[in-house]
Amino acid sequence: MEKLAHVPLANVADLLLDAICVVDAEGRYLYVNAAFERIFGYQPAEILGTRMIDLVHPDDRARTLQTVDEIMGGQPKPHFENRYVRKDGQIVHIMWSARWSEADQARFAVARDITELKRAERVQAALYAISEAAFSAGDLLALFGHIHRIVGELLPARNLFVALRDDNGMLDFPYFVDEQGQRPEPQPLDSDALSALVVRTGEALLLTPDNRDSVLPPGRRLIGHAALDWLGVPLRASRGIIGALVVQSYDGDVRYTERDKQLLQFVSDQVAAAIERKQIEARLHYVAHHDPLTELPNRDVFHDRLEVALARARRDNHPLALLYIDLDRFKQVNDNHGHDTGDMLLREVAARLRQCVRESDTVSRLGGDEFGVLLGQIRHPEDATQIAAKIHHTFDHPCMLGEHRLRIAASIGIALHPAHGDSREQLLRCADNAMYMAKSQGGNRFLTGAIANDTDATDDPRSD
């Protein structure tokens, strides 16, 4: 103890792991110990006489100055937290214990670096938030928005994109936020893009001006504009690597480090699990609402959309039309050429029907060789007849199905709202009756409900 008593106080202060700072009434550094350089990156000689507030993170300056006023007003602050910008540009989180000495006209403060503690807290919060987003997000696009926000709380992420591989060996970019570029087109997984390299190798990749020549393989390129810093990590899910999560920077204000790479890789597993969960949910939803053969909406979806369209038609007082389509002599196709050919024919019919209507209309496979078309918003009842004629005409062309060249025809029944009913059941029954009337007259024609109920009904002039 006696030997320690002769050690200069400055030497003792330099042995401390926390930084000690003395700042005058104008906010300029009068003294810092050796630990100041370890925490903030500046040597004491570089910092003495400079303003304390200049080192504070811009977003924390107003709050810091308010706290300084309180300290100088006689309120000691034992646990004040804010962020500083190190000499190398990195952000550090500081816990301050500070008080004002009226006699010395100076503030005395001890700074403890709590960056790692804050990082751990943010990572835990991010993992929880990603898990929550997987449950709360309505779809994948909404989930990507949540992920972007969450990652942005861990590290700078103004420019972030997600690359996902599909079953056909292609890499798609369902989420692409970039201040200098547009979302790229899908590309082969064996392309020379860095994101494809990350997916193929399963290895995180950090590219900076300092390591570009040694890290960037010959012939590789970046998605979009050439970034100053590029950081991508693989998304590892239960079924393997499903894609990559990438952040990039175009200016020196945002730089990425090996620590950022480790951080992003750490949370990427949770991100991948959340994406996989949403993909499974989307697939199950799709399977539950679509015909597996033609990929058209199924009967339940058709009925639901018809109910919605009817409610809108009643509200806006506009007509809608329902077409009921049944293929003529389809059983002969199965009997003569096999069910595989029949399935190919159904897919071809579905494709042709889609081409005959607008995107806002609904084409559905109702079952077997029966299809429904919902024209939710038409201006005139005659519009439905024109669409039916268009569908009728599209079957004039033969279908090339493997080695078979087949001709197909259809019977079409048309029901109109409000002329033929005001409920789903009435319209479906009317269209179905019209379709059977057309079939009973030889098929290969279309009839409206009104004509179907008329014993003097005439055929379409182009009918056989």
Task: Give the contacts of 335 (CB within 8 A, at least 6 positions apart).
Answer: none
Catalytic residue status for 456: no
- What's residue 220's pLDDT? 60
| Structure tokens that stand for 129 in this block | 């938030």
Which tens digit of pLDDT belongs to each residue from 357-402?
A: 999 999 999 999 999 999 988 888 889 999 999 999 999 888 888 7
d(CA 243, CA 236) in angstroms, rounded, equals: 8
Tally of CA atoms within 13 A in the half-sphere of 314 that contains its CB: 9
Q: What share of the chain is helix, strand, coil (3-state, %, to 5)?
A: 40, 25, 30
Task: Give the contacts of 131 (CB within 8 A, at least 6 positions apart).
Answer: 270, 274
**3 state DSSP class of 368:** coil
Domain ranges for the chain, please list them: 2-113, 118-289, 299-452
- Asked whether the predicted pLDDT for residue 176 surpasses 90, the reply is yes
Cβ atoms of residues 94 and 112 within 8 Å: yes
Work out the burial of residue 252: count CB atoms within 10 Å of its CB; fewer than 13 is exposed, 13-18 middle, 19 or more buried. exposed
- Asked whether the predicted pLDDT for residue 279 surpasses 90, the reply is no
d(CA 50, CA 44) in angstroms, rounded, equals: 11
d(CA 333, CA 407) in angstroms, rounded, equals: 10
Does this chain's domain 2-113 share its CATH topology with 118-289? yes
Describe the strand order of the beta sheet including 91-101 as a list of residue ranges: 29-32, 19-24, 106-113, 91-101, 77-85
Residue 454 pLDDT class (50, 70, 90 cuts): very low
Average pLDDT, the chain: 87
* Side chain identity at residue 309, one-letter code: A
Cβ atoms of residues 296 and 363 within 8 Å: yes
Work out the burial of residue 244: count CB atoms within 10 Å of its CB; fewer than 13 is exposed, 13-18 middle, 19 or more buried. buried
| Structure tokens that stand for 46 in this block | 């570089």
Task: Give the contacts of 187 (CB within 8 A, at least 6 positions apart).
Answer: 170, 171, 193, 196
- Asked whether the predicted pLDDT for residue 229 surpasses 60, the reply is yes
- Asked whether the predicted pLDDT for residue 7 surpasses 60, the reply is no
Q: Supply the DSSP symbol for 392.
A: H
Question: What is the CATH topology of the domain spanning 2-113?
Answer: Beta-Lactamase (3.30.450)
List 463's β-bridge partners, or say none. none
d(CA 408, CA 442) in angstroms, rounded, equals: 14
- Asked whether the predicted pLDDT for residue 190 surpasses 90, the reply is no
**For domain 118-289, is the CATH number 3.30.450.40?**
yes
Parallel/antiparallel/unpaired status of strands 320-327 and 410-417: antiparallel
* Side chain identity at residue 112, one-letter code: R
Structure-token match 């409900």, residue found: 449
- Asked whether the predicted pLDDT for residue 3 surpasses 70, the reply is no
Mean pLDDT over 291-295 rounds to 93
Residue 453 pLDDT class (50, 70, 90 cuts): very low
Q: Which helix (H) or strand (E) holds 389?
A: helix 382-394
User: How many Cβ atoms are within 10 Å of 333's Cβ, its own excluded?
Assistant: 23
CATH superfamily of 299-452: Reverse transcriptase/Diguanylate cyclase domain (3.30.70.270)
d(CA 207, CA 273) in angstroms, rounded, equals: 26
d(CA 379, CA 345) in angstroms, rounded, equals: 32
Catalytic residue among 172, 260, 291, 369: 369
> Which backbone phi and psi does 96 adopt, to 5 degrees?
-105, 145
Q: What is the CA radius of gyration of the chain?
A: 35
First CA to last CA distance, the chain: 115
Maximum separation of any 2 CA atoms in the chain, in Å: 124
d(CA 147, CA 160) in angstroms, rounded, equals: 10
Of residues 399 and 297, the one with the higher pLDDT is 297
Which tens digit of pLDDT belongs to each residue from 72-128?
A: 999 999 999 999 999 988 889 999 999 999 999 999 999 999 998 888 888 888 888
> Which backbone phi and psi does 27 adopt, to 5 degrees?
85, 20
Closest CA to 413 of 426, 400, 430: 430
d(CA 461, CA 464) in angstroms, rounded, equals: 8
Q: Give just the sign of the alpha carbon dihedral 355, 356, 361, 366.
A: negative
